[in-house]
């Protein structure tokens, strides 16, 4: 049987379950092993752990949006910290913040790529005039002309040829 991307997804899902359970045990710290480590060191460990868990979660969930996976990981991190507080351990807000930062650090390259795409594709359109969410939902607008962002009417009439007479103009309302 050949090795396929589906096998990698299944392997990543198994690693994700083991990783989240392991992170839960380490965050709950039943043996007080991390009592000697200062808060900043625990924060770095948490940020690194959730960065790796996030990368594994992205591979394990190829059909989910990255933002949804990141929100789920942030909720898991906060739930683990609440569980720690419910077990009688002292709260660690810096560690919880570091875990969230680890997830956000994983998301940052995707945001940079979206910004680069917007700079290439919509260089002349102000940020308040378009939304990438509207594009995903299918309500696309034609931003190929610089005037399209500020005008909702059709462009000035051009001399018509025999080929395009009567053809509707696409993207204009």
pLDDT tens, 70-119? 999 999 989 988 888 888 877 788 888 999 999 999 999 999 998 888 88
Question: Does the pLDDT of residue 158 top 90, yes or no?
Answer: no
pLDDT score at 145: 54
How many Å apart are CA 99 and CA 49, to the nearest integer?
A: 8
How many Å apart are CA 161 and CA 104, to the nearest integer?
A: 54
pLDDT score at 71: 95
**Higher local confidence (pLDDT), 170 or 1:** 1
DSSP states of 85-97: HHTTPPP-HHHHH
| Contacting residues for 136 by C-beta, under 8 A, at least 6 apart | none
pLDDT score at 117: 86
**Higher local confidence (pLDDT), 142 or 79:** 79
How many Å apart are CA 163 and CA 60, to the nearest integer?
A: 51
| Contacting residues for 130 by C-beta, under 8 A, at least 6 apart | 122, 141, 143, 149
**Higher local confidence (pLDDT), 49 or 161:** 49
pLDDT score at 56: 93
How many Å apart are CA 62 and CA 69, to the nearest integer?
A: 10
Q: Tell me: the pLDDT tens digits for 10-41?
A: 999 999 999 888 888 877 777 777 677 777 77
Q: What are phi and psi of 109, to 5 degrees?
A: -60, -35
For the CA atoms of 149, 152, 155, 160, the dihedral, rounded to the nearest 10 degrees, stands at 130
Q: For residue 12, which of 51, 48, 62 has the smallest C-alpha distance?
A: 62
Contact (CB, 8 A) for 118 and 132:
yes
**Higher local confidence (pLDDT), 72 or 3:** 72
pLDDT score at 173: 47
For the CA atoms of 6, 80, 74, 47, the dihedral, rounded to the nearest 10 degrees, stands at -90
For the ranges 1-15, 18-32, 151-165, the lowest mean pLDDT is seen at 151-165
pLDDT score at 124: 79
Contact (CB, 8 A) for 165 and 146:
no
Q: Quote the pTM value.
A: 0.66
């Amino acid at each position: 049987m050949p090795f396929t991307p589906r096998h990698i997804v299944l392997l990543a899902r198994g690693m994700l379950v083991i990783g989240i359970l392991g992170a839960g045990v380490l965050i709950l710290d039943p043996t007080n092993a991390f009592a000697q480590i200062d808060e900043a060191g625990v924060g770095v460990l948490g940020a690194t752990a959730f960065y790796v868990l996030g990368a594994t979660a992205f591979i394990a969930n190829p059909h989910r949006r990255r933002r949804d996976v990141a929100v789920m990981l942030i909720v898991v991190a906060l739930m683990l910290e609440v569980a720690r507080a419910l077990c009688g351990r002292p709260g660690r807000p810096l560690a919880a913040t570091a875990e969230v930062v680890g997830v956000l650090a994983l998301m940052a390259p995707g945001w940079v790529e979206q910004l680069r795409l917007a700079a290439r594709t919509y260089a002349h359109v102000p940020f308040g005039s378009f939304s990438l969410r509207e594009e995903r939902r299918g309500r696309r607008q034609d931003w190929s002309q610089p005037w399209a962002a500020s005008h909702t009417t059709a462009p000035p009439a051009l001399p018509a040829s025999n080929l395009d007479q009567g053809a509707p103009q696409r993207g204009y309302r």
